Amino acid sequence: MKILHLDTNHALLINQLQAFGYENDEDYTSSKSAIEEKIHNYDGLIIRSRFSIDKTFLDAATNLKFIGRVGAGLENIDGDYAQQKGVHLIAAPEGNRNAVGEHALGMLLSLFNKLNKADREVRSGQWRREDNRGIELDGKTVGLIGYGNMGKAFAKKLMGFDVEVLCYDIQDDVGDDNAKQVSLREFQESVDVLSLHTPQTPLTVNMINADFIKSFKKPFWLLNTARGKSVVTKDLVTALKSGKILGAGLDVLEYEKSSFEDLFTSEIPEAFQYLIKAQNVLLTPHVAGWTVESKEKLAQTIVDKIESHFKL
């Protein structure tokens, strides 16, 4: 079987596949149209988020048996059409769930204790102790929307704190010892912190909008280590200004390119200009699952799933 790799990954990915007997080709620079012209030669495709795999691409991939995405989500692939064509889809949410859980916890503690704000001030010669008085996580209710690999990893990290952890998910019976599954109404009446752990789907795009934010009983803190398009940025800014949202930790942004490799090439939106100046907003460049360890784990997960499903 021949596999085409479209993005660079941990070296073990190609090395182990080769040891299993797969033939591996790499092409990290050709255009999508150029890849389409030769994809019929391949049985497998490995990609991160370089470009979308749509119907046109899949129609050209006449011999394709699987697509492995070295990441958690599959939204850059037309999954329904791929399955119609008999193409097996492989993702690796197990590979970076721990990294995402740690990153979410780090963002939350940094926001609560104003660590980034205090650091900037001390570096500029300002010593403002009262202005940087923090709040404690103990006694708070943390709510997770989406309780799959990422949500479960974050809930596990929270078990060292005296907190109540609630989860809301469209699937039934996903709660466990680390998080109590509740209705959306109970969720919105209780939480002090809202953390998103959902994939990008028609249900989650623009999910966190003005009406949704207003439905929460208490002012709350928002964390998003999931997908940027789940949050309507201008509505987030309005809620930050009013105090309905007390602060936000955003690893992903509405304005990201679909490849996640860049932000935007045009004029900076007004809402984002507010975010980059806000003292109660923490921003990172889609790196919650992007650790030294997760790079290896993601690659290993893909290898293991390919080897299990397509033993030569």
In percent, how much of the chain has pLDDT > 70?
97
**Span 78-97, average pLDDT:** 95
| Stretch among 75-84, 131-140, 258-267 having the lowest mean pLDDT | 258-267
Which tokens is 9 given?
Answer: 């990954």
Alpha-carbon span 84 to 55, nearest angstrom: 11
| Catalytic residue, candidates 185, 256, 261, 296 | 256
Domain that holds residue 134: 97-283
The yes-or-no verdict on residue 189 having pLDDT over 60 is yes
Which tokens is 62 given?
Answer: 């006449």
pLDDT band, very low/low/confident/very high, at 206 (cuts 50, 70, 90): very high
Does 310 fall in a domain?
Answer: no
Q: Is 10 designated active site?
A: no
Q: Are 87 and 187 in the same domain?
A: no
Alpha-carbon span 95 to 169, nearest angstrom: 21
Q: Are 158 and 191 in the same domain?
A: yes
pTM: 0.92
Q: Are 79 and 101 in the same domain?
A: no
The pLDDT value recorded for residue 119 is 97
Residue 296 carries which DSSP code? H
The yes-or-no verdict on residue 266 having pLDDT over 70 is no
Q: Which of 237, 281, 284, 286 lies closest to 117, judged by CA?
A: 281
Report the CATH number at residue 25.
Answer: 3.40.50.720
| Catalytic residue, candidates 10, 103, 227, 254 | 227
The yes-or-no verdict on residue 146 having pLDDT over 70 is yes
Q: Are 156 and 63 in the same domain?
A: no
Q: Supply the mean pLDDT for the chain.
A: 95
Q: Are 109 and 251 in the same domain?
A: yes
In percent, how much of the chain has pLDDT > 90?
91
pLDDT band, very low/low/confident/very high, at 8 (cuts 50, 70, 90): very high
Q: Are 188 and 252 in the same domain?
A: yes
Rounded to the nearest 10 degrees, how much is the dihedral formed by the CA atoms of 16, 21, 23, 26?
0
| Catalytic residue, candidates 286, 293, 296, 309 | 286
Q: Are 75 and 129 in the same domain?
A: no
The yes-or-no verdict on residue 164 having pLDDT over 80 is yes
Burial class for 204, CB neighbours closer than 10 Å (0-12, 13-18, 19+)? buried
Q: Is 120 designated active site?
A: no
The yes-or-no verdict on residue 267 having pLDDT over 80 is no
Q: Are 87 and 101 in the same domain?
A: no
The yes-or-no verdict on residue 106 having pLDDT over 60 is yes
Q: Is 128 designated active site?
A: no
Which tokens is 278 given?
Answer: 């806000």
